[in-house]
Chains A and B, each alone.
Chain A
Amino acid sequence: MHYIRISDDPINIAPLYRKLVDPRYGGIDIFVGTVRQWTGDIETRKITYSAYQSMAERQLAKIAAPIEAQGGRVVIAHRTGTLNLTDIAVFVGVAAVHRAEAFKWCQQVIDTLKHEVPIWKKEYDTDKVRWGN
Chain B
Amino acid sequence: MQITIKLFAFLQDQLGPTVTVELDSPVTVEKIFSAVAKQSLAIKAVLENSRLAVNQEFVSENELEITPTDEIAIIPPVSGG
Contact = CB atoms under 8 A, between A and B. Distances in A.
B42 interface: no
Contact of A120 (B8, B53, B56): B8
Mostly helix, strand, loop or mixed at chain B's interface?
mixed
Interface residues of A toward B: which range? 20 to 34
A7 interface: no
B56 A54 contact: yes
12 contacts: A49-B80, A52-B73, A55-B53, A58-B56, A114-B80, A116-B78, A118-B78, A120-B10, A120-B78, A121-B79, A122-B9, A133-B79
Interface of A: 33, 49-52, 54-56, 58-59, 78, 89-90, 110, 113-122, 131-133
Contact of B79 (A56, A58, A110, A132): A132
A51 B80 contact: yes
A52 B21 CA distance: 21
Contacts of B78: 114-120, 133
Given A89-B81, A120-B9, 7 more contacts: A51-B80, A52-B56, A78-B80, A120-B79, A122-B9, A131-B13, A133-B79
Mostly helix, strand, loop or mixed at chain A's interface?
mixed
Contacts of B9: 50, 120, 122, 131
Nearest to A129: B13
Interface of B: 6, 8-10, 13, 46, 53, 56-58, 73, 75-81
A113 B78 CA distance: 9
A51, A55, A58, A89 — most chain B CB neighbours (10 Å): A55
Contacts of B81: 33, 78, 89-90, 110, 113-114, 119
Given A118-B8, A120-B8, A133 B77 contact: yes
